[in-house]
Structure 1
């Protein structure tokens, strides 16, 4: 894990604003050396700092306007197997392990309620999944974002 600094935050914010900018364009825009920009971007790619581009594609635009969270209670001896099986369900777009009453929080997409019912059934059929609960996402109140944290880092006092 690398720790990002103020210069990294400046470059990343510029990339957020202009995702298709070249290293030369970013360097000019930010008044940085081209090598500085290129070496940092290369390091981020090597260290997998940047998330895959598919995170930016809207499920709605792919024909999946319905989104839901599924909480799943999983037999702990079969947790890794269950995660591997969930990975095979295309409508499972994200899953995280969590503490509390459930073991996994699974974000799914679906074409409509009938499709959601099918996806929920596929999750429940995964070996090790003991029970599930579904909460339909009514609207995205705050979309996934990192810009406010990048802005805080960019604006922080030099250490």
Structure 2
């Protein structure tokens, strides 16, 4: 990875739909070497894929909830099964195994508090092995950022 690679990544973070010509112009390369660098970064796993950012509120998901979860057991089997079950719950957007007072931090989107109560009853509370959970509703997002590439 050199400065040109980082510039390419920065352009793609800002606009994943940027044309090859636009990326090339912004980083000061011709199209062929720019394309070669992008393909190399895709193959190396630096670029994991291309996606679109959706506005949750525009789609009716008005609340984001951060859920701290503590499990009864920390066996490999328990952790694996917990992850498999969470993968099947579409409202769970992210799940992190963390250090500290609890085991997992989940980021969940729901339509409203009633929808969250439904999610708890129908899905989360039915997962075996959860000892405790604590929920915090996000009141406002102060920062959303791309990776700090130093470009």
Give the shorter-chain TM-score range. Answer: 0.7 to 0.9
Q: Spell out structure 1 runs of 4+ moving beyond 4 A.
A: 51-55
Instruction: Encode CA deviations 1:85-128: one digit per residue, 9 max, x unaligned.
Output: 01111100000000111110000000010111122332222122
When residues 104 and 54 of structure 1 are mapped into structure 2, their CA distance, relative to the original with a 3 A threshold, is farther
5+ residue gaps, structure 2: none
Structure 1 residue 55: Cα displacement: 6.3
Asked if 1 retains the 8 angstrom alpha-carbon contact of 2:95 and 2:106, the reply is yes
Asked if 1 retains the 8 angstrom alpha-carbon contact of 2:42 and 2:48, the reply is no
Structure 1 residue 7: Cα displacement: 1.0
Structure 1 residue 57: Cα displacement: 1.7
5+ residue gaps, structure 1: 155-159
Alignment of 1:12-51 (within 5 A): 12-51=9-48
Q: Secondary structure at the match of 2:36?
A: helix
Structure with the larger helix share: 1
The match for 1:7 among 4, 7, 19 is: 4
Structure 1 window deviating more from structure 2 (94-103 vs 6-15): it is 6-15
Q: Distance in 2 between matches of 1:69 and 1:8?
A: 34
The TM-score, its normalising length taken from structure 1, stands at 0.82
Structure 1 residue 133: Cα displacement: 0.5
Q: Does 1:58 align with 2:55?
A: yes
Aligned length: 147
CA-based RMSD of the aligned residues comes to: 1.9
Q: Does 1:76 align with 2:77?
A: no
Q: Distance in 1 between matches of 2:22 and 2:83?
A: 41
